[in-house]
Amino acid sequence: MLTTFYANSGNFDAAKKTLHDLENALNSLRRSRGFSNYGSFLESNFESARGIYYSSQGQWIESERALRKAIHLLEMQSEQVKK
């Protein structure tokens, strides 16, 4: 993900902007019909990017929350696929 690349390379302004753009895109997608099928996967990608960004900023608590949420959302998606 682009946010991860920017955060790992130290370009935190670009990482924050990319994360903001991703959040706006996700908000637009929430209104689409297919979101009920793929929404948890898309949201998990966003939360993962957010967790990595927070980690690069030294915000460990926020990072852990976002990454745990990403895992939870992936588990939800996995359960949907099993059905």
* Tens digit of each residue's pLDDT, the chain (83 residues): 788 899 989 999 999 999 999 999 999 999 988 888 888 889 999 999 999 999 999 999 999 999 999 999 999 888 877 76
pTM for this entry:
0.87
Domain total for the chain? 1
3-state secondary structure of 70: helix
Q: What pLDDT is recorded for position 70? A: 96
In angstroms, the CA 64 to CA 80 distance is: 24
Q: Give the structural domain span for 58.
A: 2-34+43-82
Residue whose tokens read 């099993």: 82
Q: What pLDDT is recorded for position 80? A: 79
Q: What pLDDT is recorded for position 56? A: 94
In angstroms, the CA 50 to CA 30 distance is: 18
